[in-house]
Amino acid sequence: NAYVFVLYDYDSNSILAVPIKNRTKSSLIQGFQTCLYDLTRAGIRPIIHRLDNEISKDMIAEIEKHKMNYQIAAPGDHRLNFAERAIQTFKNHFVSTLHGCDPAFPANQWDRLIPQAVITLNMVRPSRINPKLSAYTQLWGIFDFERTPLAPPGCKVVIHERPQERGT
C-alpha cells in the first residue's frame, strides 16, 4: 500500500482511515466503501458528503448509488471542509506513531499500524453527539482492554517458543 484513504464523520467526530494501493478511482472507491461499511456497522448512516473539488465522477456515482447527497467545496476554500482538518490530524497522529516505532521496524510495514492509529486517535477525540463519550465509544462502544490489549505499535518483541512446540 502506498496511500491512506481518510474519512471524517462530523457527528461522531471520528476519523476513519484505511490503506489503499494507489490513487486510482477503483482504489479510492474501495477505501470509501470500507469506511462506509465501518460507519454503517456502527449504526451511522451518512446523509451528506462534502468533497474536495478534485473528486472523480466515479466517486460521485458511488455516493449516489448509496442514495446520499454530496456537496463540492469551492476551490481554495478549505476552511469549510472539516475533512481537510481531519486529514491533517490523522497525519500528525500517524507520523507520531511511526516515530515511536523501534528503529529496526521495517518501513514497508507502515500500513499495518493504521488500525491501531485509528483506534487510539478516536479514543482521545470527544464525540459531538455526546461530549462525555469519545468518538471511539460513540461508534463501537467501550473499548475492552482485556480483550484487545494495546501495546506500543512497532515495538521490538522477544518471543520464546518452547522446544516441544517448535520444529527442528
The yes-or-no verdict on residue 120 having pLDDT over 90 is yes
Residue 111 is placed in which grid cell? 500500513
Are 143 and 137 in contact, with CB atoms under 8 Å apart? Answer: yes
Residue-wise pLDDT for 121-142, tens only, equals 999 999 999 999 999 999 999 9
Q: Please choose, from the candidates 5, 6, 8, 19, the residue with its C-alpha nearest in 3D space to the C-alpha of residue 109.
A: 19
pLDDT reported for residue 78: 65
Residue-wise pLDDT for 47-86, tens only, equals 888 877 678 889 889 999 988 898 887 777 666 678 888 9
Residues 10-28, mean pLDDT to the nearest whole number: 94
In the chain, the percentage of residues whose pLDDT exceeds 90 is 61
